[in-house]
Amino acid sequence: MRPFRHRRLTAVVALATMLVTAAPPTAAGADDSRNRRAGYHRVGYFTQWGIYGRAFPVKKLDTSGAASRLTHVNYAFGNVSEDGRCFVDGGPGEGDAWADYQRPVPAEESVDGVADTWGEPLNGNFGQLAKLKAKHPGLQVLISLGGWSWSTYFSNAARTDASRKAFVASCIDLYLKGNLPVLDGGSGGQGAAAGVFDGIDLDWEWPNWPGEPGNVVRPEDRQNFTELVAEFRRQLDAYGRTTRRHHPLTAFLPANPATMDAGYEGREIFRYLDFATVQGYDFHGAWDPVTNQQSALRVPSGAPDNPDFSAEVAIDGWLARGAPREKLVLGIPYYGRGWTGVSGSGNGLFQPATGPAPATFEAGYEDYRRLKTLAGNGFTVHRDLRAGHAWLFDGTTFWTYDDPAVVLQKTLYIRRAGLAGAMVWSLDGDDDNATLTKTIGLGLATP
């Protein structure tokens, strides 16, 4: 690292430390040194589809330096069938087995520089994750089940004791034991992916609460989610007695207090989870008629909504419902939310807009690696140091996003609040130097 950059980063650390320690205590912030952790989880989601438009193969986790800063990689996503089973299928809307383990990865994209051969049992992303783990033996990889698009039938899987047992068994068989369906050409087979995945991440969005249109939702989802995580814990422990290893179980949890109450028995689920990642983003977006923050650490002064969302509100919500702080991991976005047609005056915050800002893959959604190039190129960076958020504005278009200074401030909050660490969605949004992931590594470094 160049001396100038080192001095600049040191100044940012000092400023962020002052801001976090000077803030009035809340349920999360009023912790003492007895609860500060010696080590932190640093969790990153790797998206199955990132190898396409974003040109983000597993190898980039190694070459960028991200892998050495992470403790866990969550692979997004595994699907849940209507009859409540984990499954891999290359059919439209069902999955992408080609990306998962069929695609022959060329040498230039391979972690070890060796090209795959057509029809090998384990090609694609799964094969590359195995190579990444061989190079970084402390790294754990979890299969994340569900997500926004594939939570449709979680309720079916969790509905009865029999359905839960069958669902959990199918997931362990498919992912941990690695018994993959055999595809055209020969990829897959018994034990083909054994050792790739260390555990399970449950990303049910959401129990007893609307998610994507068409999701099955039942009032009994709340209790059934507890029973589901208990069943996962029982079967993972039983499997662990055969492997002589602990297989982690985690879950992604919402930021909305109403969703927390509808779908989760807060204290109970943490009896079975190693830790949970808490949504720290998508608080606002172009679905709102005025510009706003999507991932602020605290609710900004003058916010038009009351009550409003923030990272601190989300963490405080889980603490108030009995979650142990040492099992809460704060989610951090590697993307921004944007509006265009912004009117009004000032710096663009809390102003009317006409719709989502144009973007590379999805209107109103842009990766950090692209947003960082806007600063100084017609856009001005604005900050609310007290609330812990930043935005870009050019007089017409507005982007709310997390840059290294905001990310560092959040890591210092995590330390002060005695939380378990940080999670990011998603790793392919970072730049080629893994700037945001390295910032998390710096902020959560242990002596």
Q: Closest Cα to residue 179, out of 187, 168, 170, 190?
A: 190
Taking the CA of residue 125 as centre, how many other CA atoms within 13 Å lie in the half-sphere pointing to its CB? 26
Q: Known catalytic residues? A: 205
- Interhelix angle 435-443/404-417, rounded to 10 degrees, is 30
Compute CA 90 distance to the chain's CA centroid, rounded to the nearest angstrom.
24
Distance of CA 28 to CAs 151, 327, 416, 433, 446, Å?
A: 30, 13, 9, 32, 21
The span from the CA of 303 to the CA of 247, in Å, is 42
- The alpha carbon dihedral of 384, 390, 394, 399 has a sign of negative
Omega before 270 cis (within 30°)?
Answer: no
The structure tokens listed for 266 are 């807060």
Q: At what angle do helices 435-443 and 3-22 cross, to 10 degrees?
A: 60
Phi, psi for residue 146 in degrees, rounded to 5: 105, -100
CA distance 16 to 411: 9
Tokens of 32: 């003492």
**Strands 328-333 and 421-425: what pairing?**
parallel
DSSP label at residue 182: P
CA distance 167 to 231: 9
Which CB contacts under 8 angstroms, 24+ apart, belong to 165-168? Answer: 165/231, 165/235, 166/84, 166/85, 167/80, 167/84, 167/85, 167/86, 167/228, 168/228, 168/231, 168/232, 168/235
